[in-house]
Structure 1
Amino acid sequence: MKIAYILILFTLMNLCITFKPKAQQIEVLDSTIIKNTFWNSKALRISTIPVILIAAGGGTWGIRKYVRAFRNRYLPTFRYHYDDYLQYAPVAAVLGLNAAGVKGKHKMGRALVSYAFSAAIMASVVNTVKYTARVERPDGSTRNSFPSGHTANSFMNATFLHKEYGQFQSPLYSIGAFTAATATAVGRELNNRHWISDVLAGAGIGILSTELGYVVADKIFKDHGEHIKLRHNPIPVTLHPSFLELRLAYAKGLSRDLTEKTEDLFAKSGFNFGLEGAYFFSRYIGLGGEFAFSSFPMNDDNLSFNDSGVALVSDGHYTQPMGIRYIHAGPYFSFPLSQNWFITGKLGAGTASGAKGEIILRIKENYQELFRTNELPYYRYKPQSAFSWSAGFGVQKQIKRNIGIKAFVSYFNSDNDFSMDIIDQINPDGTYAFKNVGSEKVRFDNITLGLGLTAFLW
């Protein structure tokens, strides 16, 4: 509860500083006039994405161990500490561009003051929560995991580059900045230093810290130290909405027939993440592609073995999660509504490739010396590549000129041939030999519901 109180206080501080209750009139780029109420206020614009990320940190708390199991299965020995350095790339870019004479939104003195306030806010919030919550790291090294300081720092730096150059020169600076920040966050998980909830909350804190730092600096400097006065409100979209999008979703398998008896082995609810983008020829239609991955823990509570020796040497078993990778391409659709809302859709087709999985026996202690292991892969399955198709629908809101958020639902369908192998012998060198026991075609369809963070490429 202490964590929740601190994060709520942090968000309320942002709203109090930035929201002015008196209605004003502001001019947008197409010369229309709108009321500056709470729903289109600066407070809501700068806090929406951070609040969603912080909430996602809390929402993924219950599945964090599943995500770690996914990492441990596919990349258990990953040890590349690029994230220790990449977190500083965006702020280094700001300093380098300024030194090269490329103008940012503010003169360097004012920009550094904004950055100093941002860093102070970020560090105080991160460290207060870290040493109050005392969450153990995935690798068990210390109890200061939540939230991720590296991720908070990287997203603070990315937002700094975005505000100084992405909003002033080109959105490509913003895309590069947040790509580096996202890669840093992923690195914290791959290196087994943080849970997914840590990096999501850290990203939200980092972005909101920079926004608050700029609010404080704006109150100090007013219009001094600016190279140009920018309009901050999002514009009604009249251009082609080409985009890149990062998405995370809850996934529900709709098929259960992974074995002859459906109650023996079936997929439970899992998660889906992906990256997609599209080039639009008009306001309404474009072509694009998607890379997505779904992972599903397996329910094997009722699975039994015909071999009586299994019960003799083991005292249980577990099944590795099933992972399916999708690479799709096809038409994308966007229908603009009022107030910068969109209805989006897509149809895709391509391939679905599965990662092999194993049913693993937990060997009894008195047999571990004989087998030279405490876990023995007994059964192996491998879904073969197959044709697949997908469809999706979304509701999207543009909250800044080049940034949007989307709530979406997607459907994935494929018929995969599963190759089945059973352990045949243990070789003298400790490796295992398997023999094929057949194959089975399985219709594997699943539905995903989640959120996407969109970068518009105007």
Structure 2
Amino acid sequence: MTILRNMTFYEAYPPNEKVQSSSIFHTALMLYKLTRHSLLLIFLLSSSVRLYASSPADSTATETRNALEISVSAASSLVVNAALTELVKRSVDRTRPNGEDNHSFPSRHTSWAFTASTIVSNELYSHSPWWAVGAQAAASAVGFQRVVTRHHYGSDVIAGAGLGIVSTQFSYWLCNRLLNPKDKMTLPSSDNDFRPSIAMTSEAVFNIGSDIATAFGVSLKGQLPLTQRWGLAMTLRGITAPVIVNDTYINPINAYGASVGGVGHFRLPVKALAIETSLYAGFMRLLPTKGWSHNSYGFEGDIETALNWRLTPSFAFAARLGYRVMTTPSAVSAITFGLSSIAVF
């Protein structure tokens, strides 16, 4: 019930301030610092990648979809997504944080962005995992910007991302059934062994019992195996969330941070699937929030479980569920759910 309250009741109140230009500056600063640290993470992992340079490249890109299949699947995804997004948007009455109108839910921009991201991933992931990772990063940046600039609440963005992914996957499935009715549906799969990887994650953060409402987050996670099951991990994360004080919207709180920890990789009987468990600890840098005082730095601890599906030798997809504790200055608990595109080396 507390989670539901943070998603709906708290977020239903209109703001009492105009958009502050300083929030855009702080967002740009945070994204710059997050990018700088992300490049450092990739550099640190590059040495481990060389150890696996002799691994064979993807061999799953041998079957090329024809232009008709690609065009119909992409076009139908855009049409279905636009229809669903507008239907929900016109059916739900929620005032935007900036008071502009009452069509806040869901985020149209985020829905479109994740539709485009899913199309790119579906068509190109077998050629290079970086297409999927990069597409998800771009879509996540759109959602992040919509919350920071007070055009949407975190739950609006999360709903938009979900609509984009679901509508696109449904359209691809339907088009495949119509264009190739005699083909048997076979899911792509590859041996899910434990190797170095970099994952791009878009996550929903359901804060429990605090002034911080539902948040939207992005993270970059690197893993380095030490044995066949256990390894080290480092995560760089940025989050943005509305702050509600006395049932009044104040401003979004924006934060970025880094954490380190361990990860376990446990293969399942189905060769493409594995369960990963992670435990992290680190710090968060909280940017100033007008109208709400808090510390500049906070502690962060995470425990997370993921279902990892290896589609090709160098690309995987994962769904993540976790529990997080943060200090802002008081302790804040949160349930997290994330989806990841993973480049495997």
Q: TM-score, normalised by structure 1?
A: 0.53
Q: How far did residue 274 of structure 1 move?
A: 4.9
- Cα separation, 2, equivalents of 1:139 and 1:193: 6
- Cα separation, 1, equivalents of 2:179 and 2:253: 55
Q: Flag the 1:321–1:174 CA change in 2: closer, same or farther, 3 A.
A: closer
Q: Does 1:153 align with 2:112?
A: yes
Kindly report the root-mean-square deviation, in angstroms, between the aligned alpha carbons of the 2 structures.
4.5
- Cα separation, 2, equivalents of 1:330 and 1:385: 19
- Cα separation, 2, equivalents of 1:294 and 1:127: 25
Instruction: Mark the runs of 5 or more structure 1 residues left unpaired by the alignment.
Output: 1-55, 81-101, 254-266, 302-316, 361-380, 415-441
Q: State the partner residue of 1:403.
A: 317
3-state SS, counterpart of residue 409 of structure 1: strand
Q: Does 1:289 align with 2:289?
A: no
Residues 188-207 of structure 1: matches in 2 within 5 Å? Answer: 188-207=146-165
Instruction: Mark the runs of 5 or more structure 2 residues left unpaired by the alignment.
Output: 28-60
Q: State the partner residue of 1:250.
A: 206
Q: How far did residue 110 of structure 1 move?
A: 1.9
Q: Which amino acid aligns with 2:221?
A: G
Q: Flag the 1:186–1:321 CA change in 2: closer, same or farther, 3 A.
A: closer
- Contact preservation (8 Å) 1:136, 1:142: yes
Q: Identify the match of residue 170 of structure 1 among 128, 137, 140.
A: 128
Q: How far did residue 413 of structure 1 move?
A: 6.4
Q: State the partner residue of 1:60.
A: 7
1:292-319 alpha-carbon deviations (Å, 9 max, x no partner): 5586958789xxxxxxxxxxxxxxx999
Q: TM-score, normalised by structure 2?
A: 0.67
Q: Does 1:327 align with 2:258?
A: yes
3-state SS, counterpart of residue 104 of structure 2: coil
Identity between Structure 1 and Structure 2 (%): 19
Q: State the partner residue of 2:103.
A: 144
3-state SS, counterpart of residue 150 of structure 2: coil
Q: Flag the 1:400–1:70 CA change in 2: closer, same or farther, 3 A.
A: farther
- Cα separation, 1, equivalents of 2:159 and 2:4: 5
- Contact preservation (8 Å) 2:10, 2:244: no
Q: State the partner residue of 1:275.
A: 219
- Contact preservation (8 Å) 1:345, 1:391: no
Residues 63-102 of structure 1: matches in 2 within 5 Å? Answer: 63-64=10-11, 75-76=22-23
3-state SS, counterpart of residue 195 of structure 2: coil
Q: Which amino acid aligns with 2:295?
A: P
Residues 44-443 of structure 1: matches in 2 within 5 Å? Answer: 60-64=7-11, 75-76=22-23, 105-166=64-125, 168-222=126-180, 231-235=186-190, 237-240=192-195, 242-244=197-199, 245-251=201-207, 268=211, 270=213, 273-281=217-225, 282=227, 283-293=229-239, 297=243, 325-339=256-270, 340-349=273-282, 351-356=283-288, 383=295, 385=297, 388=299, 390-399=300-309, 401=311, 402-412=316-326
- Cα separation, 2, equivalents of 1:294 and 1:198: 13
**Number of aligned residue pairs:** 299
Q: How far did residue 164 of structure 1 move?
A: 0.9
- Contact preservation (8 Å) 1:57, 1:200: no
Q: Flag the 1:219–1:334 CA change in 2: closer, same or farther, 3 A.
A: closer
- Contact preservation (8 Å) 1:145, 1:198: yes
Deviating more after overlay: 155-164 vs 123-132: 123-132
Q: How far did residue 215 of structure 1 move?
A: 2.1
1:56-109 alpha-carbon deviations (Å, 9 max, x no partner): 99983344369989995785467x9xxxxxxxxxxxxxxxxxxxxx99841222
